Amino acid sequence: MGSLRLDQVTKRYDDVVAVNDMKLDIRDSEFISLVGPSGCGKSTTLKMIGGLTTPTKGSVHIGDREVTHLPPKDRNLAMVFQNIALFPHMNVYDNISYGLRVRKRDKSEIDERVNRAVGILQLEGMLDRMPSELSGGQRQRVAIGRAIVRNPDIFLMDEPLANLDAKLRVHMRTELQRIQRQLDVTTIYVTHDQEEAMTMSDRIAVINGGELQQIAPPLICYNEPANLFVAGFIGSPSMNILEGETRDGTLRHKSFDIVIDTSTANIPPDIEGVTLGIRPEDVYPAAIDSELASPSRRFSATIDVLEPVGEKIFVYLKADDGVEDFSVGDVDDIEGRHESLLMSVEPDYDIEEGERIDVVFDRSKIHLFETISGNALDHGIDDRPTTESTPNKNVS
Ligand code: ADP
């Protein structure tokens, strides 16, 4: 049974709290990524699952066994790390079978397991090669082969693709997904790369400062981020984060106002600040707002920089005169909090740097957060289309 549970796990190193009160409930055969910025506690979490370090508090359970204090060899896990440690003087067969040979398994059983792994990893015909005769991707597959032949309940992978070049990394992502589906083994995958986590996982666990922020399928984290951190971290380019305040059922920002339906919003009346999040693909030139079911009122901005990236153009917008920038407040540790507002448009959209332009938000795609706690607030934005067009700031 490859289900896994972390029950209020904390790991402290002197005065550093590497992982704080982590709760994870992972189902058998799930592919879960632990994702977050460097130093957020991903590897420490993985090491506690693997038995390489012991929690200061809390417990770890694999299937229905508590394993918190068991050594790694008694947990039936297999680990794959970033640094591929193959024996340079052994060929592929000997590298893959090493662990089984040390455990003195039967030759026929070893052959059977190696052949199965080699088939899954598409390493046929390479069993006699030495590591120096393999490409980076092939070496990584041999390392995974060593893990596969052990028939583990759970795979633990710590940035296994980080040392590969960009093209190979993308290829290996697909390979790993295929291998995991075929083996149907629970996999815990550590990465700082949100795109890698988004493309590979059944669910992603977003971690920041040692604390779990959200665990959900990738698109839920993207479309319904639980808080400002997840909103800024998941998605590339990042969500635009704009601070404002609510008064009389309206979110007021220096550049625009958005009407909020207070009857459905869960916005506490005494709330101090509300932060608005909108992804670049949900900001539109007002000229094409007829395509939107629910455009906000338009407001004007100046095109600062254009970045054509092939399938779209990223448009950096500057706020109008008298408004220094689109962000307010002095919190600058959240990705997406920029001086400019980012909009993405189709590559054939006719647009020039320095031009003034009216833009709208797709109101159904607006996210709201409580500024101080960062927690997501219920939408509650009136989604009736606004036909009136008032290209002045503050009344848009
Ligand atoms: P990540 O894998 O997300 O980059 P880590 O789990 O490696 O983060 O580290 C989390 C925090 O714990 C960091 O602040 C790191 O410096 C600290 N840390 C990790 N291992 C140790 C250790 N052995 N001794 C002291 N501090 C550590």
Residues 228-234: what's their mean pLDDT?
Answer: 94
Q: What is the pLDDT of residues 178-211, one digit of tens each?
A: 889 888 999 999 999 999 999 999 999 999 999 9
* Mean local confidence (pLDDT), 117-122: 87
* In a shared domain, residues 45 and 61: yes
What is the overall mean pLDDT for the chain? 85
3-state secondary structure the chain: CCCEEEEEEEEEECCEEEEEEEEEEECCCCEEEEECCCCCCHHHHHHHHHCCCCCCEEEEEECCEECCCCCHHHCCEEEEECCCCCCCCCCHHHHHHHHHHHCCCCHHHHHHHHHHHHHHHCCCCCCCCCHHHCCHHHHHHHHHHHHHCCCCCEEEEECCCCCCCHHHHHHHHHHHHHHHHHHCCEEEEEECCHHHHHHHCCEEEEEECCEEEEEECHHHHHHCCCEHHHHHHCCCCCCEEEEEEEECCEEECCCCEEEECCCCCCCCCCCCCEEEEECHHHEEEHHHHHHCCCECCCEEEEEEEEEECCCCEEEEEEECCCCCCCCCCCCCCCCCCCCCEEEEECCCCCCCCCCEEEEEEEHHHCEEEECCCCEEECCCECCCCCCCCCCCCCCC
User: Residue 91 has which token pair?
Assistant: 């060929």
Q: Are 166 and 209 part of one and the same domain?
A: yes
Q: Quick one: 188 and 280 in the same domain? A: no
pLDDT at 372 over 60: yes
Lowest mean pLDDT among 129-143, 314-328, 375-389: 375-389
Q: Give tens-digit pLDDT for 35-60.
A: 999 999 999 999 999 999 999 999 99
Q: With the C-alpha atoms ordered 20, 23, 29, 31, is the resulting torsion angle positive or negative?
A: negative
Nearest-atom index, ligand 1, CA of 158: 2
* Residue 363 domain-assigned (yes or no): yes
Residues 185 and 270 grouped into a single domain: no
* pLDDT for the residue 7: 97
Q: Which amino acid is at 316?
A: Y
For the CA of 34, the closest atom of ligand 1 is 3
Residue 335 Cα to ligand 1 midpoint, Å, equals 22
Q: Read off the pLDDT of residues 346-365 as tens digits, 9 standing for 90 and up.
A: 999 999 999 999 998 888 88
- Ligand 1 pocket, residue 87 CB under 6 Å: no
Is 185 a domain residue?
Answer: yes
Per-residue tokens: 52 = 């390489």
pLDDT of 45 reads: 98
Judge if 171 and 196 occupy the same domain: yes
* Structure confidence by residue, pLDDT tens digits, 85-97: 899 999 999 999 9
Residue at a domain's end among 229, 256, 278: 229
Q: Is position 394 within any domain?
A: no
Give me the mean pLDDT over the 127-136 stretch: 93
Instruction: Tokens for 340, please give them.
Output: 């400019």
Is residue 22 within 6 Å of ligand 1 at its C-beta? Answer: no
Report if residue 395 sits inside a domain.
no
Do 285 and 136 share a domain, yes or no?
Answer: no
For residue 292, name the pLDDT band (cuts at 50, 70, 90).
confident
Predicted local distance difference test score (pLDDT) of residue 200 = 93
The pLDDT of residue 269: 65
Task: Please tell me if the CB atom of residue 41 comes closer than 6 angstroms to any atom of ligand 1.
Answer: yes
Higher pLDDT residue, 237 or 163? 237
- Distance, in Å, from the CA atom of 116 to the CA atom of 110, rounded to the nearest integer, reads 10
Q: What is the pLDDT of residue 386?
A: 43
Q: For ligand 1, say whether the CB of 44 is within 6 Å of any of its atoms.
A: yes
The residue nearest atom 21 of ligand 1, judged by CA position, is 13
Considering 170, 203, 229, which residue would you say is the last residue of a domain?
A: 229
CATH, residue 327? 2.40.50.140
179/234 same-domain check? no
Give residue 225's pLDDT.
Answer: 95
Segment 299-320, tens digit of pLDDT: 888 898 999 999 999 999 987 6
Do 197 and 246 lie in one domain? The reply is: no
Same domain? For 361 and 251 the reply is yes
Do 250 and 378 belong to one domain? Answer: yes
- Three-state DSSP at 286 gives helix
Look at residues 194, 229, 264 and tell me which one is the last residue of a structural domain. 229
For 131-145, 224-238, 335-349, 352-366, which range has the lowest pLDDT when averaged over its residues?
Answer: 335-349
Q: Within a domain: residue 206?
A: yes
CATH number at residue 203: 3.40.50.300
Q: How many percent of the chain have pLDDT more than 90?
A: 55
What domain range includes position 297?
A: 230-389
Count structural domains, the chain.
2
Q: Work out which ligand 1 atom sits closest to the CA atom of 46.
A: 6
Residues 272, 368 within the same domain? yes
- Looking at the fold, whether 37 and 124 belong to one and the same domain comes out as yes
CA torsion 170-173-179-183 (nearest 10°) is -170
Whether the CB-CB separation of 369 and 277 falls below 8 Å is answered with yes
